[in-house]
Amino acid sequence: MKSFWAPWRMEYILRDKPDASAPVTEGSPCVFCDLLQDEDGPGNLVLYRGEAAYVVMNKFPYSNGHLLVVPIRHEKNFESLSDIEGAEIFRLGQKCITVLRQTLKADGFNMGLNLGRAAGAGIAPHLHFHVVPRWENDHNFMAVLGDVRIIPEHIQTTYKNLKRTFSENL
């Protein structure tokens, strides 16, 4: 039997969940918009707020330090971003790479976005860029044979370390 420790997932497991059969419409609650209602900190995992976009840790990461760059304005269409939003999103993507190289010693990165449910977007109504740090040889047998991801550091510890580096770099 395999046991993996991921204590931050309990919040997700126990929370009230919307009706999965209900269609997502413009007026539906949005996790990315809701994050901005709280003070930044370990509770919402927001690392940085800009004028048109912000950086938040992925609560359910593919790898340690998986970040999201999100426009502040609720928008699902990439082509509808303003020049200011697009420029800030890409500038923050660059800052994410700088911070992840300094803090987590990442060797490489996967960056991208999934537009629409058909493309694999988990939160389709509000577009967001993924910045996923990678390390040499980080694909071991656990991911390949066990269909398991290993996250080596508690998400709150990673938040504290990344927040400090973001503060120093922005």
Which domains does the chain show, CATH number per domain?
39-169 (3.30.428.10)
For residue 90, the model assigns a pLDDT of 96
Q: Which of 130, 132, 129 is nearest to 107 (CA)?
A: 132
For residue 148, the model assigns a pLDDT of 64
Q: Which of 90, 63, 78 is nearest to 114 (CA)?
A: 78
pLDDT per residue, tens digit, the chain (170 aa), is 455 566 666 776 676 655 544 444 555 689 999 999 989 999 999 999 999 999 999 988 888 999 999 999 999 999 999 999 999 999 999 999 999 999 999 999 999 999 888 888 888 899 999 999 999 877 654 554 456 667 778 888 899 999 999 898 87
Q: Which of 151, 111, 153 is nearest to 129 (CA)?
A: 111
- Which two tokens mark 88? 């800030």
Contact, 121 vs 80, CB < 8 A? no
> Token match 């998400």: residue?
155
List strands edge to edge, sheet with 53-57.
46-49, 53-57, 67-71, 129-134, 108-112
| Catalytic residue (one of 74, 126, 128, 154) | 128
For residue 74, the model assigns a pLDDT of 95
For residue 21, the model assigns a pLDDT of 43
For residue 8, the model assigns a pLDDT of 63
Establish whether 130 is a catalytic residue.
no
Amino acid at 17: K
For residue 137, the model assigns a pLDDT of 76
State phi, psi for 19 to the nearest 5 degrees.
-60, 115
